[in-house]
Chains A and B, each alone.
Chain A
């Protein structure tokens, strides 16, 4: 794999915060927030575009578990790509994903403890600026001001017959939609 094909995590508009082994990632561009377990966090932080999948396997073996392999890294990259956290990479084909998963699950069958290493990426939509404002804000009934009678204007002497404009705009109040907080 050439360096240009090496997996690369997004860094622009990305905030990261460690909480023990988890990594919380806030994507300010896409208004999402994610929590990555240890496996996902190590792969995310190792995927800097300079390391190949095989080199990321080495980092994962060193930092998490000596039994990590390319299938686990590819699975993790699929999760990260699904969360829009990689540059120029979408999830692989479902066939390729299934094969990696099968091979890794077979390995888990042999060494049960490896199941703890499966990548977990949980995502939510970041709260919008208005999302905490009460959606049931009461409206006060408006007391209408008495209408002033406008002085009648003199009609111009020569006037073309009025056409009704079907596209006449009515002024509507903008509704403030509340963005859902949860994203599955």
Chain B
């Protein structure tokens, strides 16, 4: 069995698969800021295993947050493993709080857009990057327990009209990817409503904490430290809420509000 172990934001994940070529491909697509390590599999927080299925030329992927998936071709199994890794890291990273959010930095302060999948985070993050902000993530805002925002800069997952996802780097959008932790400056609760205009209402620190907590990965099983960390974030940053229409116009107004 070939084995690949990496650490990312204090999470240690091991992947086992007899197919060395496939593991090599997975290695190319590890979560951002991952580091290959030589650790005993017993020390891993998450164990992802790909096993052959008897009497077929297919594979079964198990381990991590999702249920087992059977009947995968090699390329499907690679995609399946890669999909599991982000969630595996977000759940196992005990020294950080992962929040489902888009994130950029502007003039040294973080702008964080919490929201579930398909809430329009990536469109707004893309518009912010195109407007000059530094790219941090379109999936997770990563906070340490002092409330500082760290990058999780996978290439942006941009969906076309048919729902097909393509990965685009910040550099391909003529943008820059962030490398350093920054203090959060603005938490943006934005809901896409076609044709609406950006009309932000200020949130109290308590409301801001709740917006982050609602999208925090380990809010359930680590409620106390997660809540404490997010309250720190809310004390450092302003919180605003509004419906939004066009992403480019919203991005322009958001960056203007961070500047002033």
Contacts and interface: CB of A to CB of B under 8 A. Distances in A.
Given A22-B206, A132-B215, A17 B116 contact: no
A129 B221 contact: yes
Interface residues of B, number: 45
Contact of A19 (B56, B57, B118, B234): B234
Most buried by B among A37, A144, A145, A176: A145
B143 interface: no
Contacts of A184: none
Given A37-B206, A140-B76, A146-B55, A19 B220 contact: no
Interface in A9-24: 15, 17-24
B117 A136 contact: yes
A105 B68 CA distance: 58
B217 A35 contact: no
B147 to A, nearest CB: 11
B235 A134 contact: no
B205 A140 contact: no
A145 B206 CA distance: 55
B55 A145 contact: yes
A181 B210 contact: no
A26 interface: yes
B65 A22 contact: no
Query: Which secondary structure characterizes the binding site on chain B?
Result: mixed
A99 B233 CA distance: 40
Nearest to B207: A35
A133 B70 contact: no
B2 interface: no
A8 to B, nearest CB: 22
B254 interface: no
Contacts, number: 113
B118 A132 contact: no
B235 A20 contact: yes
B139 to A, nearest CB: 10
Contact of A133 (B66, B76, B224): B66
Contact of B118 (A124, A131, A136, A141): A136
B209 A134 contact: no
Interface string B88-122: 00100000000010000000000000001110000
Given A122-B207, A134-B83, 20 more contacts: A17-B228, A19-B209, A19-B231, A20-B205, A20-B206, A22-B204, A24-B206, A24-B209, A26-B227, A126-B219, A126-B220, A127-B220, A130-B65, A132-B87, A132-B217, A137-B83, A141-B71, A143-B71, A143-B73, A176-B67
Interface of B: 53-58, 65-67, 69-73, 76, 80, 83, 87, 90, 100, 116-118, 204-210, 213-217, 219-221, 223-224, 227-228, 231, 234-235
Interface of A: 15, 17-24, 26, 28, 33-37, 122, 124, 126-137, 139-146, 176, 181
